[in-house]
Structure 1
Amino acid sequence: MKKPNNFNIAIIATFLFGGIITKSFAQDSISPKITTPFKQLPANNLQVTGNPLKKVVTVKVEFKNEDKEPAEVYLKLGGFENFGVTVQQDKKYKIHSKESFGTRENNKGFGEISFVRFGNKALQSFLYLQEEINPGSSNHFSFTINGVNPKDSIIDLHIRCNLSVNQMLVGDKLYKFESIKINWIKPKEVK
């Protein structure tokens, strides 16, 4: 029986070790995948920043009306199926139900999304936000995710949008954002 050549073993080990290193740093090289269901209303300028000390993440995305007519944008935010975030380790986040909307049992197993805004409007006691966006203009949608591990990234973020242009229904579809790296920023020490 022929003994293996040390050179061949070294080459094989290099490929195996290189593959392991590539996989362990793959998250840093993956760019986010954004699914925009309406060409008239693309989602742009996704910004995701986190405070590792407070374990809080802020997400901000811009919706721009590229149609020649006004766009009525109705974001459905009630329930995980309409608006939710999944981070690594399969932890899921949604807007927590309040007593007036049903039982708190619906919140079990979900982290909390808070401080939801769309344009000039903040989410109050209802589970949708609606804005009219003029042609060529844009509005920002932002929110905060509480209790995120600083080692995590966002696997999936989805927002259901009902879009009407010039008072005609275009559709009711999901915007999806996948493989999102969180830009963790340590706050400066207060003197």
Structure 2
Amino acid sequence: MWCKFFIFFVLYFAILSLGFGQDSSALIVKVPFDSIAVTNVRAVGNIQTGSVEISLDFRNDYHELVDLHWSVGGFDGLGMTDDKGEFYKIYTSTKAIGAAGINKGYLQIKGVQFGSKKMDWLTYVKDTVNAGNTKKLKVTIPKMQKDVAVIKEFHARCILSVSQMWVGDEQFTIDNIKIEWSPRPNPVGDIN
């Protein structure tokens, strides 16, 4: 009898402890290509303006030149969700026929830069990365609620080519990016 009772409690506490072992707030980076690494993931907010810049480094671990082509049009291409449940995307022009209300329900992502290349009116940004080198992807949100603490989900669609040969069209996903709100920006000339 005591043996069954003991086994029951051991199994009960073993199952119970499985649920406590994972931290649901930890940064999770899902990289679809085996030789592209993502490092230095940061989100820095300006508490005075509400703007937030997300930056992440992409390192080429292939032994050849790669093209990273970021398709940033629409929420499926580049989007994010904050801890308040708000959705963000690059706004689509509402001047086209049938496009009225296309941005409804979304807050705006304003700027995207990868390496030295910036998104302008096109819905992509592309640059090459030499073997062993790193380039930074920066995404700017002009206005975010200042009580947002975490970007729960960030995704970006990438078309990868290695030595001008197409490898794949996949989505990078990063969960739980904590926003570092700065109390105030440094005044011009202030080094500290």
TM-score relative to the length of structure 1: 0.79
**Which of the numbers 128, 134, 137 marks the counterpart of 2:133?**
137
Say which SS state the counterpart of residue 79 (structure 2) adopts.
Answer: strand
Moved over 6 A (4+): none
* Identity between Structure 1 and Structure 2 (%): 28
Q: What is the distance in 1 between the residues matched to 2:79 and 2:127? A: 20
Deviating more after overlay: 99-108 vs 42-51? 99-108
Q: Which residue of 2 aligns with 1:86?
A: 81
- Aligned residue for 1:90, secondary structure, equals coil
Partner residue in 1 for 2:101: 105
In the alignment, does 2:83 pair up with 1:58? no
CA 1:104 to 1:120, structure 2 compared with 1: closer, same or farther past 3 Å? Answer: farther
Bigger CA drift: 143-152 or 73-82? 143-152
2:69 maps to 1:74 = yes
2:11 corresponds in structure 1 to none
Unaligned runs of 5+ in 1: 1-25
Q: Distance in 1 between matches of 2:166 and 2:135?
A: 19
1:126 matched to 2:122: yes
User: 2:68·2:129 contact (CA, 8 Å) conserved in 1?
Assistant: yes
SS at match of 1:105: coil
Across the aligned residues of Structure 1 and Structure 2, the Cα RMSD in angstroms comes to 2.2
Q: Kindly provide the amino acid, as one letter, of the partner of residue 132 in structure 2.
A: G
Gaps of 5+ in 2: 1-22
**Number of aligned positions between the proteins:** 165
Secondary structure of 1:81's counterpart equals helix
**Cα offset, 1:187, TM superposition:** 1.2
Aligned residue number for residue 91 of structure 2: 96
- Amino acid in structure 2 at the alignment position of 1:112: Q
Which one-letter code corresponds to 1:181 in the other structure? K
Residue in structure 2 matched with residue 40 of structure 1 by the alignment: 35
Instruction: Please say if 1:171 is aligned against 2:168.
Output: yes
1:100: Cα distance to partner?
6.1
Provide, for residues 79-112 of structure 1, a one-character-per-residue CA deviation record: whole Å limited to 9, x for no partner.
1011001001210000011256662521111100
Check whether the contact 2:41–2:177 (CA below 8 A) recurs between aligned residues. no
Do residues 148 (structure 1) and 151 (structure 2) align? no
Higher helix share: 1
Secondary structure of the equivalent of 1:69? Answer: coil
CA 1:100–1:44: 2 relative to 1, 3 Å: farther
SS in structure 1 of the partner of residue 110 of structure 2:
strand
Distance of aligned partners of 1:78 and 1:188 in 2 relative to their CA distance in 1, 3 Å threshold: closer
Q: TM-score, normalised by structure 2?
A: 0.79
Counterparts of 2:86 and 2:49, CA distance in 1: 17
Say if 1:32 and 1:180, in contact at 8 Å, map to a contact too.
yes
Moved more, 98-107 or 150-159: 98-107
Please report how far the alpha carbon of residue 115 of structure 1 lies from its aligned counterpart in structure 2 after TM superposition.
Answer: 2.1
